[in-house]
Chains A and B, each alone.
Chain A
Amino acid sequence: MTDYLWDKTGSDAEIEGLENMLAALAHCPDLKPAVRRPEPAAAEGTNRFSIFKLSLGFAFAGLVIAAAAAFVILSYPTKRSAAAIELPMPRSNKIVSPLSADGPATAPQVERASFVPRPKSKSRKPRRVVRSAPPRKERPQVLTLTAEEVDAYRQLMTALAITSTQLKIVKDTINGTED
């Protein structure tokens, strides 16, 4: 073994040639390490800023939760504040047309049903039915229609009659064809 291979003393043309050729692949000293440790002051500042941002986030989230809770509490009717809500609704689905001769042409009689919201109970007890009035006998209800509504009603009846007639024609045609 030549000394040149070990400690570069003396000379060896072959090894020198290889060295010159392979030097192109050597590490480039211009390359710098891509790592950089943050300065202590900067790191402290960043840390403080992130804590501030975190606190701000928590505060905002708390505010949103509080607002949502307040909204739910205020919008829910409690026992004291909720008065009986009276809703006009017919006792039966029967509609007496003012055009029919059977129906009375008098003033409409709309029965009012009462609805009292129950207070929220924590335990699951059987629900009580609260009635504001004793049950009454079923009576035919009358709806009073305006002139426009009457007109619409007539048109609807006409359309239904036409449709019915056409369906009957189709049915007869089918039956006649089948026969």
Chain B
Amino acid sequence: MTDNQLTGELFLLPREHNAHQEDAVSTNPDSAMIRRAASGNEEAFAELYRKFAPMVHGIALARVPRSDADDLVQEVFISVHKNLNSLRDHRAIGPWLAQIARNRAADFYRRHRTAYELDDEMAGRDRSADRAFEVMELIRALPVSYSETLTLRLVEGMTGPEIARRTGMTHDSVRVNLNRGMKMLRKALGKETEK
């Protein structure tokens, strides 16, 4: 494992007491929605889905091919639907979802290792999206914490503070992951151009 990977793993630590995040933790507008969703309210669950599906999709996309990311999102939300009552701290919904997505992606990778190595998404993709897939491959090749944060930022269009709020990471972690990840991506893109 390289230094970068080690550093990347460290920045996946959930947020702890941090001065400029206290406000985000103390006010929790999601709590009522989660309570309603847990009691079987369809609209509340759909709202939960709308709010967190891009984050789950970004986390999935950083680990699995695009063709499987949507399925993984569905798997995650099915699991959430079954186990939402077990979530005690409603403030932790984002980190909880993110962790489920990471675990599901890891399971998926273990199940489909061979297929993944064959890169099945090369088969039926649109010509116009070729470059996007290539860049996504480069992002995916980065340490997982960088690729996850960069995917949420560049693919899903979330801002740094939004990523921190959704995933439960600290602002500093997100900032560092974005900065270092972007630097490595530029390097990879430069190498690719040289080729």
The total of chain A residues at the interface (CB under 8 A) is: 26
Contact yes or no, B73 A27, CB < 8 A: yes
Contact yes or no, A31 B179, CB < 8 A: no
Which chain B residues border A14 with CB–CB below 8 Å? 186
Bitwise interface map of A from 88 to 123 toward B, beta carbon under 8 Å scored 1, else 0: 000000000000000000000000000000000000
Contact yes or no, A8 B159, CB < 8 A: yes
Bitwise interface map of B from 40 to 55 toward A, beta carbon under 8 Å scored 1, else 0: 1010011001100110
CA distance A8 to B156 in the complex (A): 13
Interface flag for B153 (CB, 8 Å): yes
Contact yes or no, A5 B160, CB < 8 A: yes
Contact yes or no, B70 A24, CB < 8 A: no
Interface flag for B182 (CB, 8 Å): yes
Interface flag for A135 (CB, 8 Å): no
CA distance A26 to B132 in the complex (A): 11
Contact yes or no, A24 B46, CB < 8 A: no
Which chain A residues border B133 with CB–CB below 8 Å? 25
Contact yes or no, A22 B42, CB < 8 A: no
Interface flag for A73 (CB, 8 Å): no
Contact flag A5-B178 (CB < 8 Å), given A23-B155, A27-B73, A33-B81:
yes
Number of A-B contacts (CB under 8 A): 88
CA distance A129 to B46 in the complex (A): 84
Which chain A residues border B8 with CB–CB below 8 Å? none
Contact yes or no, A37 B40, CB < 8 A: yes
Which chain B residues border A23 with CB–CB below 8 Å? 155, 157
CA distance A5 to B180 in the complex (A): 12
Interface flag for A128 (CB, 8 Å): no
Interface flag for A7 (CB, 8 Å): yes
Residue from B45, B50, B78, B131 in contact with A29 in the complex, judged by beta carbons closer than 8 Å: B50
- Give the Cβ gap from B62 to chain A, nearest Cβ, in Å: 11
Contact flag A15-B154 (CB < 8 Å), given A6-B159, A7-B160, A33-B45:
yes
CA distance A5 to B61 in the complex (A): 19
Interface flag for A174 (CB, 8 Å): no
Interface residues on B, range: 35 or more
Which chain A residues border B29 with CB–CB below 8 Å? none
- Give the Cβ gap from A86 to chain B, nearest Cβ, in Å: 74
Which chain B residues border A21 with CB–CB below 8 Å? 131-132, 135
Which chain A residues border B40 with CB–CB below 8 Å? 37, 40
- Give the Cβ gap from A24 to chain B, nearest Cβ, in Å: 5
Interface flag for A13 (CB, 8 Å): no
- With CB as the reference atom, state the residue of chain A lying closest to B186: A14
CA distance A1 to B178 in the complex (A): 9
Contact yes or no, A5 B81, CB < 8 A: no
Contact flag A25-B78 (CB < 8 Å), given A7-B161, A18-B135:
no
Contact yes or no, A19 B154, CB < 8 A: yes
Contact yes or no, B81 A25, CB < 8 A: no
Binding site for B on A (CB under 8 A): 1, 5-8, 14-15, 18-19, 21-29, 31-37, 40
User: 7 tightest CB-CB pairs across the interface, nearest first?
Assistant: A27-B57, A35-B81, A6-B160, A33-B49, A22-B155, A27-B54, A7-B159
- List 7 other contacts, CB 8 Å, given A6-B160, A7-B159: A1-B175, A22-B136, A24-B132, A26-B156, A27-B70, A27-B73, A31-B73
